[in-house]
Amino acid sequence: MADRRFRAWLPLVALYAFWVSVGQAVSGQEPLKGVVEARGYNAGESIPVSCLNRTIETGEHITDASGQLQYIPFPTCNETGRPLELFFGIEKDINCTLDFISDPFFHLLEFYIHNDAPLTCRIPSAPLPPSVLEHEYRVADSTSQEGALGTQSNLYTPLIIALAGTLQLSHLHVGNSLNLLVHAVPKSISSGKIDAATAYSVSPHTRNARVTIGDSLSLSFSVRWYPSTTLPPGWSGYGGHLYKSTFLYCLLSAGASAAICVAYFRGVDLPRRLRRYARDMKGGSRTPGGYGLPVANGRGGGYGGYGIGVGGGSGKKD
């Protein structure tokens, strides 16, 4: 009897032991290191800009002791006392005045404007982890450096600043009004991440600054953000589908057509109709099959009809 009771409880005991072992295994696991995804930027969070360090002799990039590309902070802006920085999702115009153009930086500007070397910068694609912040301007991941432009890894997004202008013997003209475009990773994929960025001078022949060694240089960045990698449509022709010149052209065409029609009707068609009507009225009694109409002399007649005399005429035959 006791043996039967023990056999009845045996499956329940085994199931309980199984659940206990599973619970212990789950509670004893530790989170895997390195697989936690970095958080995204919050709206308005600052994003530092650093640029590739180059030599003034040839414009070639400078490497560190380990042979990796060396990045340095963007020059300090007089307005903030800090290197240039963006703010996630914030569209505005950012002024960055460089107080003093040193001789080395002047020669680098010559390289940038002449396109001998690009002004290659970078921004963190997401807030950098603490281990990278300790070495903010070093190579973040030397084992996964990508491309000749030194993007290092997916921790950074390249930001190429295409400066335009003209070179003179004693000075430079720098196109200091720039558009800066930033594409964020679509929110459905990952929120608060940066996918691509670029900057370029606009109207460099009219909106520029004359710079010599020792001068200041004021840069104006018009920053625009896009929530995906797709640019919205913007080109619809000069003035769009319906614009003032087209409307005026249609109006003038309609007026000219109406004037030509009126002139033709009054100058050609109407006189011709009046002459035809007068001719018909004058010789209407001689039209074939017509009826004679009384005239001043009391005679009437017509081809194919009989005229009836009115007055003392000879309308009657003997």
User: Which of 218, 118, 224 lies closest to 175 in space, CA to CA?
Assistant: 218
Q: What are the residue ranges spanned by the domains of the chain?
A: 46-226, 244-282
3-state helix, strand, coil in the chain (%, to 5): 25, 25, 50
Is the pLDDT reported for residue 29 higher than 50?
no
Task: Write the CA distances from 309 to 168, 226, 312, integer angstroms.
Answer: 110, 100, 8
Query: What proportion of the chain, given as a percentage, has pLDDT over 90?
Result: 41
Other residues' Cβ atoms within 10 Å of the Cβ of residue 278? 10
Query: What proportion of the chain, given as a percentage, has pLDDT over 70?
Result: 67
Buried b (16+ CB within 10 A) or exposed e, 171-199: ebbbbbbbebbbbbbeeeeeebbbbebeb
Q: Which of 27-36, 75-84, 150-159, 260-269 has the lowest mean pLDDT?
A: 27-36
Residues contacting residue 209 through CB under 8 Å, at least 6 positions apart: 173, 174, 176, 217, 218
Residue 278, helix vs strand vs coil: helix
Task: Tell me the pTM.
Answer: 0.61
Q: Which residue has the higher pLDDT, 18 or 176?
A: 176
Q: Give the integer Cα–Cα distance in Å for 159 and 151.
A: 10
For 266, phi then psi, to 5°, come to: -80, -30
Q: Which residue has the higher pLDDT, 217 or 273?
A: 217
Residue identified by tokens 């800090």 is: 82
Q: Give the integer Cα–Cα distance in Å for 85 and 71.
A: 15
Residue 314 has what pLDDT? 47
For 108, phi then psi, to 5°, come to: -65, -40
Is the pLDDT reported for residue 136 higher than 80?
no
Q: Give the integer Cα–Cα distance in Å for 154 and 195.
A: 10
Residue 280 has what pLDDT? 82
